[in-house]
Amino acid sequence: MPNIEFITDRNIYEKVIQDSIPHTQKFLWIGTSDMKDLYVKKAKKMVPFLEVLSDLVKKGVSIRIIHAKEPGEAYRRDFDKYPFLIKNMEMFLCPRIHFKSVIIDGKFAYSGSANLTGAGMGAKSKDKRNFESGFITDDPNIVEQVMTQFDHLWMGKFCKTCKRKEYCFEYKKF
């Protein structure tokens, strides 16, 4: 029977970032307004989330990220430490994206308010993190709807009629 679970704050980090993403087998899609230098627990140390993504890419996982603005300076510095991501991870900037979602292998989805940041995903201490909420599910109907929204944006469905095109920095052309 499919599951759907409401999650908040630190549970977002634990159930999405820590427990689910590292076990991705085929593909990982992430949609977020903001991306910052998120650090996550790996084994017994804290590492940039980019290291987790790099590990996945090395195992053959396809990764797509849609985000609304250029990541911060610390993120860009960390990104340069993982050159394997440059050619093996697809990114697309859309200034109108505001949804936050994670889709894993077409079988798991997170959708909620948390951006891909330490404060958003609950990776920071309880006194520094944002108050966030969302849900995780393996319900095929809901996963499909989250995937469809992501895919429509990824495929450029709205680009030709977008009234904010002058703010786009395209990683790919439509």
CA distance 16 to 20: 5
CB count within 10 Å of CB 150 equals 22
pLDDT digits (tens, 9 = 90+) for 99-130: 999 999 999 999 999 888 877 887 777 788 88
CATH class (in words) of the domain with range 4-167: alpha beta
| Report field, pTM of the whole predicted structure over 0.85 | yes
How far apart, in whole angstroms, are the C-alpha atoms of residue 136 and residue 139?
9
For 69-107, what is each residue's pLDDT tens digit?
888 888 888 999 998 898 899 998 898 999 999 999 999
Residue 140, both tokens: 């095929």
DSSP type of residue 96? T
The rounded distance, in Å, linking the Cα atoms of 147 and 141 is 10
| 27: helix, strand or coil | strand
Q: Would you list the domain boundaries of the chain?
A: 4-167
